[in-house]
Amino acid sequence: MRIEQYKIEEINGEQLANHKRKLDFVGADVKYLDGVMAKLQAFNIAIPSWALGTGGTRFGRFSGGGEPRSLEEKIEDVGVIHALNRSSNSISLHIPWDIPDNAASIKVLASQLGLHFDAVNSNTFQDQKDQKYSYKFGSLHHVDKEVRKQAIEHNIEVIKYGVQLNSKALSVWLSDGSNFPGQLNFRTAFQNTLESLQEIYSALPDDWKVWVEYKPYEPNFYSTTIGDWGQSLLLANKLGDKAATLVDLGHHLQGANIEQIVSLLLMEGKLAGFHFNDSKYGDDDLTVGSINPYQLFLIFNELVEGMDARGMTHATDIGWMIDASHNVKDPIEDLLQSVQAIKIAYAQALIVDKAALQIAQKNNDVTLAQEILQQAYRTDVRPLIAEASLKEGGALDPVGVYRKLKVRDNLIKERGLKTVATGL
* Helix 229-239 vs helix 186-202: crossing angle, to nearest 10: 50
What is the nearest approach in angstroms of Mn ion to the Cβ of residue 137?
A: 22
What is the nearest approach in angstroms of Mn ion to the Cβ of residue 246?
A: 7
Distance CA 371, CA 398 (A): 32
Residues making up the chain, counted from first to last: 424
Distance CA 15, CA 12 (A): 5
What are the phi and psi torsion angles at 211 (to 5°)? -105, 125
Q: Which is nearer to Mn ion, 248 or 387 (CB)?
A: 248
Look up residue 32 and give its amino acid.
Y
Identify whether the C-beta of residue 337 lies closer than 8 Å to the C-beta of residue 322. Answer: no
CA distances from 145 to 23, 292, 423 (A): 60, 43, 28
Q: Which is nearer to Mn ion, 67 or 248 (CB)?
A: 248
What is the nearest approach in angstroms of Mn ion to the Cβ of residue 1?
A: 28
Return all residues near 108 (Cβ < 8 A) that are at least 6 apart. none
Distance CA 274, CA 318 (A): 8
| Closest residue by Cα to residue 55 from 327, 270, 313 | 327
What is the nearest approach in angstroms of Mn ion to the Cβ of residue 155?
A: 16
What is the nearest approach in angstroms of Mn ion to the Cβ of residue 256?
A: 15
Q: What residue ranges bind Mn ion (CB under 5 A)?
A: 248, 275, 323
CA distances from 281 to 145, 165, 323, 371 (A): 36, 36, 16, 29
Distance CA 23, CA 33 (A): 11
What is the nearest approach in angstroms of Mn ion to the Cβ of residue 248?
A: 4
What is the nearest approach in angstroms of Mn ion to the Cβ of residue 46?
A: 12
Q: Which is nearer to Mn ion, 36 or 318 (CB)?
A: 318
Distance CA 9, CA 15 (A): 10
Return all residues near 361 (Cβ < 8 A) that are at least 6 apart. 369
Identify whether the C-beta of residue 117 lies closer than 8 Å to the C-beta of residue 91. Answer: yes
Q: Which is nearer to Mn ion, 323 or 330 (CB)?
A: 323
What is the nearest approach in angstroms of Mn ion to the Cβ of residue 113?
A: 24
What is the nearest approach in angstroms of Mn ion to the Cβ of residue 186?
A: 23
Q: Which is nearer to Mn ion, 64 or 319 (CB)?
A: 319
| Closest residue by Cα to residue 232 from 207, 262, 206, 255 | 262
Q: Which is nearer to Mn ion, 303 or 395 (CB)?
A: 303
Q: Which is nearer to Mn ion, 66 or 319 (CB)?
A: 319
CA dihedral 124, 127, 129, 132 (to 10 degrees): 80
What are the phi and psi torsion angles at 271 (to 5°)? -90, 110
Distance CA 119, CA 112 (A): 20
Q: Which is nearer to Mn ion, 275 or 314 (CB)?
A: 275
Q: Which is nearer to Mn ion, 12 or 175 (CB)?
A: 175
Cβ neighbours, 10 Å, residue 19? 17
What is the nearest approach in angstroms of Mn ion to the Cβ of residue 215?
A: 8
Q: Which is nearer to Mn ion, 115 or 247 (CB)?
A: 247
The region that residue 46 occupies, defined by phi over 0 for left and psi between -120 and 50 for alpha, beta otherwise, is beta
What is the nearest approach in angstroms of Mn ion to the Cβ of residue 17?
A: 41
Q: Which is nearer to Mn ion, 209 or 275 (CB)?
A: 275
Q: Three-state SS for 30?
A: coil
